[in-house]
A and B are shown apart, each in its own frame.
Chain A
């Protein structure tokens, strides 16, 4: 079991650029969650999917953020255009039962 796989581990980009974060959940897990972690706001849920369908996207900060899950083994979180305040660690997690987190993507927007 390879766990939840996120890529890239680190991303540095310039303000205004498009950023795409990727996640491969654990095989057989039918729920997938995207979290953002910052010092100021802690861990906050952005969006989650069940059986590839978005269930709750109320945490997505604004229209610059979008997420897709085209199949059971892949999800993307896209920020376009990126801003410095988007700098954070983005985690992907999958379940059911116990939630397993990926290693996270540390995004820095300069």
Chain B
């Protein structure tokens, strides 16, 4: 069984500062993928970044980077230079096994960016 844990119900950050959102996972699959999604107050699910379990380098997408520590089973999202528009719910998710496998989500972290 796959499990995703996000231990921070809420996080606060000052505009222009960096913030790290924590995610740990548990799976017995040797091959898996890790995802981060953003859900603003409007409700849509926006894909941010992906990391494959065999990827040698940490994934980066603009201001988003994924701090992947395989031995510790953690996949933290780092947002640099926070903007007011980053205020949203953030979900960590994992796909195990085959590429069409289901995504298992964590409980989410609400990020609030202060001006």
Partner of B105, one of A42, A96, A104: A42
Is B104 an interface residue, CB under 8 A from the partner? yes
Interface status of B54 (Cβ within 8 A of chain A): no
Chain B nearest CB from A4 CB (Å) reads 10
Please count how many residues in chain B sit with their CB below 8 Å of the partner chain's CB atoms: 18
Binds B, one of A17-25, A43-51, A62-70, A75-83: A43-51
- The smallest C-beta distance from B113 to any residue of chain A, in angstroms, reads 22
Is A42 touching B102 in the complex (CB atoms < 8 A)?
A: no
The reply to whether A104 and B102 contact each other, CB–CB distance below 8 Å, is no
Nearest CB on B from A18, distance (A): 24
Decide if A101 touches B102 in the complex (CB within 8 Å): no
On whether the beta carbons of B99 and A101 are closer than 8 Å, the reply is no
Kindly identify which residue among A42, A98, A103, A106 contacts B108, using a CB–CB cutoff of 8 Å. Answer: A42
Q: In whole angstroms, what is the CA distance A50 to B91 when docked?
A: 24
B85 close to A (CB within 8 Å): no
Least CB distance from A9 to B in Å reads: 10
**B103 lies within 8 A of A45 (CB):** yes
Q: Which one of B99, B102, B103 contacts A97 once the chains associate, using CB atoms below 8 Å?
A: B99
Find out whether the CB atom of A48 lies under 8 angstroms from the CB atom of B102: yes
**Distance between B74 CB and nearest chain A CB, rounded to angstroms:** 20
How far in angstroms is the closest Cβ of chain B from A83? 22
Which residues of B have CB within 8 Å of A50?
100
Complex CA distance for A48 and B103, rounded to whole angstroms: 10
Question: What residues of chain B have their CB less than 8 Å away from a CB belonging to chain A?
Answer: 35, 37, 43-45, 47, 50, 91, 95, 99-100, 102-108
